[in-house]
Structure 1
Amino acid sequence: MTTGNGFGISHLHACSECGELHCESYDHIRRCHECDDPFCDDHVIECAGCGDPVCDPHSGRCTITGDVYGDSHLATCIECGVLLSRDHAHEAPATDGYLCVEHFEQCEFCRQEYAPTSLVDGRCPACRNLSPKTEANIDQVSDAVGLFGRSHVGKNDSYIVVRGKHRIRGDIVIVYSRDGTQVHKRRMGIEERFGGWFK
């Protein structure tokens, strides 16, 4: 017991790790932010992300920084399985989960980064499924489509990809986030333009 003050049994709590009784009133017992179980000071640590107390079973160490975080501030790389804080984990577009920065691969067409498992023959789901349908339902994308003589549109959970054929400017690729914000634009090279997409 960590205090000499007299407390009734109703004011004492057993540490979930060591079983010793401690008083909650004097902060000698702290509750894990993740599971709400009581722990003494020797068996709880502050989450590096929020400063709240967390217990060992509901925390982990970020592979990059070595700091301890509660489970709600951690993510596992879906490619290699290492544990990362949310500050060092990156959401993988077009799939569920997080990645280390080292495991992103670029789609060869829209130039956005994805998990390797999202790419087939180097292309993301949006770029594999470009079609003449233009019902993007987003004004910015519809406006862009209207600038081209012919256009193809593809979508995935994160991006909308437009490939347009312009009489003067040539073939152009524009990438939008799903809220309509333009995130990338480029002119296609001659080799790409004559690759059979718009014959």
Structure 2
Amino acid sequence: MIELLQASFSSANAFASGLLIFVLIYWLTVIIGLLDLSSLDVDLDTDADVDGLSSIAWFNSALAFFNLGRIPLMFFLSFFALPFWVMCVGVNSLLGTQDSWLGVLFMFPIAFFCLFIAKLLTWPFVKLFTIMEKEEAPKTTVIGQMCTILLPANATQIGQAAVKTAGSPLLLNVKTTQGHLVQKGETALVIDYLPENQLYLIEPYESL
């Protein structure tokens, strides 16, 4: 055990060990509720308004190839960090390079290889996150749309409203901004979604 700790924090393996510890701390804080799954996620989708920027298109294609943008960054990083650490420690211990610059250089081809391992390990989850995104879509697409009040609501009382769709009306739990009251049958505008309460913020249409 002592030998493993010494190898893990040798100069050639320190980065891989630090990355693994960071991932473990992240998941620990998620489990105990200090963070949620999207707390450290970033938008890796790069858009360009100027034609001819092939480097941007190449970058987006590379991200998509490794499933980045399809699953949360921290989720991908979790499947990258463990094999990266195992291979860095294993290769450098086998070759006796854990305390040399050669061992540090080995980190780069190992990292490249582990990108493909992470791609393979995360592939089954791509469909899962796609389904989850589709389920979350109405929460953002209804913002800015008109709704009809079904149950009265104010800033403290939660009511219900319906938004017209191509199919069945979408039912929303709603409350109003401070100082407003909406009654059954009135029209209001959906202005925001409150994820902590899982309800929508609305304002009477006539007051806008």
Q: TM-score surpassing 0.5? A: no
Structure number with the higher strand fraction is 1
| Structure whose alpha-carbon radius of gyration is higher | 1
Higher relative contact order (CA 8 A, sep 6+): 2
